[in-house]
Structure 1
Amino acid sequence: MNSFLTLRLPLLAAGTLALALVAGCANKSEPVYTPKELQGFDESSTLDSQWKYGVGDGLGRARYPIAPARDGNMVFAADAEGYVVALNAQNGSRQWEVELDTPISSALTAIAGNVYVGSRNGEVLALSQQDGDVVWRSRVPSEVLAAPQANQELLVVQSVDGTVTALDRANGTERWVYSSSQPALTLRGTGTPQVIPPVSFVGLANGRLVTLDNRNGQPLWEMQIAVPQGRSEIDRLVDLAGQPVLTQDGRLFVSSYNGRLVALEATRGEIMWEYDHSSRHTPVLVGNFLFTVSDDSHVIALDAQTGRELWRNDDLEGRWLTSPAFVDGRLALGDYEGYLHLIGASEGDIVGRTRIHKSGISVRPVTDGKTIHVLSNNGRLETLEVNP
Structure 2
Amino acid sequence: MKTMNARKSALALVGILALGLLAGCANKAEPRYSPKQLQRFEAQAELDTDWRQRVGQGLGRATYPIAPSLDNGVIYAADERGRVMAFDAQSGERRWQTDLGVGVSSGLTAVAGQVYLGTRNGEVLALNQSNGDVSWRTRVSSEVLAAPQPNQQLLVVQSVDGVVTALDRQTGRERWVHTTTEPALTLRGTGTPTVIDPVTFAGFANGRLVTLDNRSGQPLWERRIAVPRGRSEIDRMVDLGGQPVLTPDGRLFVTSYNGRLVALEAPSGEILWEREHSSYQTPVLVGDRLFTVNEASHVIAFDARTGEEVWRNRDLEGRWLTSPAFADGNLVLGDFEGYLHLLDIQNGRFTARTRVDSSGISLRPVTDFRRIYVLANDGRLEALEIKR
Name 2:71's counterpart in structure 1. Answer: 71
Task: Report how far residue 32 of structure 1 moved.
Answer: 3.4
Identical-residue share of aligned pairs (%): 65
CA distance in 2, matches of 1:317, 1:343: 14
Name 1:5's counterpart in structure 2. Answer: 22
CA distance in 2, matches of 1:127, 1:32: 41
- Taking the TM superposition and a 5 Å limit, the aligned residue runs for 1:1-388 are 2-7=19-24, 18=25, 21-22=26-27, 24-25=28-29, 31-388=31-388
Once superposed, what is the RMSD of the aligned Cα atoms?
0.9
Letter in 2 for 1:382: E
Letter in 2 for 1:50: D
SS in 2 for 1:348: coil
Task: Report how far residue 3 of structure 1 moved.
Answer: 2.2
Letter in 2 for 1:3: G
CA distance in 1, matches of 2:387, 2:255: 32
Name 1:15's counterpart in structure 2. Answer: none
CA distance in 2, matches of 1:315, 1:302: 18
CA distance in 2, matches of 1:179, 1:387: 48
CA distance in 1, matches of 2:350, 2:150: 35
Name 1:13's counterpart in structure 2. Answer: none
**Structure 2 length as normaliser, TM-score?**
0.95
CA distance in 2, matches of 1:128, 1:241: 29
1:218-257 Cα shifts (integer Å, max 9, x gaps): 0000000000001111110000000000000000000000
Gaps of 5+ in 1: 8-17
Gaps of 5+ in 2: 1-15
Letter in 2 for 1:134: V
Letter in 2 for 1:249: D
CA distance in 2, matches of 1:153, 1:129: 18
After alignment, is 302-311 or 31-40 more displaced? 31-40
1:73-118 Cα shifts (integer Å, max 9, x gaps): 0000000000000000001000000000110000000000000010
CA distance in 1, matches of 2:295, 2:351: 22
SS in 1 for 2:92: coil
CA distance in 2, matches of 1:4, 1:298: 18
1:264-299 Cα shifts (integer Å, max 9, x gaps): 000000000001100000000010010000000000
Task: Report how far residue 124 of structure 1 moved.
Answer: 0.2
1:177-235 Cα shifts (integer Å, max 9, x gaps): 00000001000010000000000000000000000000000000000000000111111
Letter in 2 for 1:45: A
CA distance in 1, matches of 2:86, 2:251: 35
CA distance in 1, matches of 2:138, 2:332: 34
Runs of 4+ in 1 over 2 A off after TM superposition: none
CA distance in 1, matches of 2:20, 2:197: 33
CA distance in 1, matches of 2:355, 2:78: 21
Name 2:11's counterpart in structure 1. Answer: none
Letter in 2 for 1:156: V
SS in 1 for 2:271: strand
1:27-49 Cα shifts (integer Å, max 9, x gaps): 5xxx5311000000110011000
Letter in 2 for 1:293: V
Task: Report how far residue 303 of structure 1 moved.
Answer: 0.3
**Structure 1 length as normaliser, TM-score?**
0.95
CA distance in 1, matches of 2:332, 2:234: 30
SS in 1 for 2:20: coil
Letter in 2 for 1:184: A
SS in 2 for 1:3: helix
CA distance in 1, matches of 2:72, 2:36: 38
Letter in 1 for 2:277: H
Letter in 1 for 2:23: T
CA distance in 2, matches of 1:102, 1:153: 26
CA distance in 2, matches of 1:42, 1:259: 36
CA distance in 1, matches of 2:273, 2:192: 22
